[in-house]
Structure formats: C-alpha cells, structure tokens
Copies of this chain bind each other. A is one copy, B any other.
Amino acid sequence: MAKKSNVFLDITTNLDEELFEDIIKKESFKLQRIISQGHTTPEGEWYDQDRDEWVMLLCGEAILAFEGDEDVRLGAGDYINIRAHKRHRVSWTKPDAKTIWLALYSQPLG
C-alpha cells in the first residue's frame, strides 16, 4: 500500500541549487517538484524543450519570461501551459521564501 507524502515537506535545507525531484516518471510524462528560492535561469539562457510543460505554483512567487512575449507572474495556485519549443526562462523567484512548483512534462500533441 502506497504511503502518502506531502509536497511541502522533506525539503532539504541546502537550497544553494534549485531542487528538481521526480514525483512520477513514466515513458509518456514526468511529474516533478521544483523548489526555488531566488533562483533564476541564467541570464541569456532559455529553456527550449522537446516536451510540453504544465507548471503550477503551490506556494511562493515567480516570473516566467517568454521569448517575444509578455512576462507571466505566478502566485500560489497559478498554472500555465508551455508548449514544446516555446522558449522561456524563469526571470525571478521570491528570494526570502520557498517557491514550490509542480511541473508536468509530456510528449507534445501530434
């Protein structure tokens, strides 16, 4: 019997690096918990992913930048779909509190 876990617990105290952890990993999709605290995508770098991504903030605050598009500010409960190859970066996350994300990566629709 599976045991429950809690997405707000078991967080390493060392957040020198942004934390990426798989919650579920299957062939067709992957669900991750991401924990940021002031972390951003390095200046000038973009994520350009083969997979669609759905991302939701569970707590904290973040700003996503999209190439040639408007920034999107996310707070608790906000979610957004990022289509494969939509170039984006995390331009800001709250520096004084943890930002916890759920990210669901999946094969793009045909």
Contact = CB atoms under 8 A, between A and B. Distances in A.
A64 to B, nearest CB: 9
A32 interface: no
Given A54-B31, A77-B58, A4 B104 contact: no
Contacts of A69: 1
Interface string A51-72: 0001010100000001001101
Interface string A1-43: 1111111110000000000000110101101000000000000
Name the interface size band of chain A. 35 or more
B6 A77 contact: yes
A74 interface: yes
Number of copies: 2
A83 to B, nearest CB: 7
Given A31-B104, A54-B31, A104-B104, A79 B26 contact: no
Interface of A: 1-9, 23-24, 26, 28-29, 31, 54, 56, 58, 66, 69-70, 72, 74-83, 102, 104, 106-107, 109
